[in-house]
Amino acid sequence: MGFSKKQLFNSTQNQVANYTKVLGHPARVAMIQHISEHKNCNCNELVKSTGLSQPTISQHLVEIRKIGLLKQKVKGKNLFYTIDSDQLNECRRVVNDFFVKTQVNCSK
């Protein structure tokens, strides 16, 4: 993929793009939903719930973690994931503000 030239855009534009990029894949959406419904779930549970392979789940978890949406806890040799509620609220606020401001601009 090419260089995105993020420096050409303001921080809000980059932030909205980062959040929506993660949410732009149905597997990630399904994983986020599953984790929100099943607190402290691990990679194996996500494999069972989605039907995707473990390496694929791990790659998606990396992308979701990049935006800070997941908290992880180590228990033995396993990582368990929960949703970071504060970051979820921030993500929701940023994306919602984008759409509200865009809608207001369209109404002018």
Strand-pairing partners, residue 83, are 70
Amino acid 60: pLDDT: 97
Q: Which of 75, 90, 80 is nearest to 39 (CA)?
A: 80
Q: For the chain, what is the domain count?
A: 1
Amino acid 95: pLDDT: 96
Which of the 8 DSSP states describes residue 38? S
Amino acid 1: pLDDT: 46
Q: With respect to residue 4, please indicate whether it lies within any of the assigned structural domains.
A: no
pLDDT, averaged per 10 consecutive residues of the chain (108 residues), comes to 75 95 96 94 95 97 96 94 97 96 91
Amino acid 5: pLDDT: 84
Amino acid identity of residue 20, one-letter, is T
Amino acid 48: pLDDT: 96
Amino acid 91: pLDDT: 96
Amino acid identity of residue 76, one-letter, is G
Q: With respect to residue 68, please indicate whether it lies within any of the assigned structural domains.
A: yes
Amino acid 39: pLDDT: 85
In three-state secondary structure terms, 13 is: helix
Task: Say if CB 70 and CB 22 are below 8 A apart.
Answer: no
What CATH number should be reported for the domain holding residue 63? Answer: 1.10.10.10
Q: With respect to residue 58, please indicate whether it lies within any of the assigned structural domains.
A: yes
Domain residues for the domain of 64 are 11-103
Amino acid 3: pLDDT: 61
In three-state secondary structure terms, 24 is: coil
CA distance 97 to 91: 10
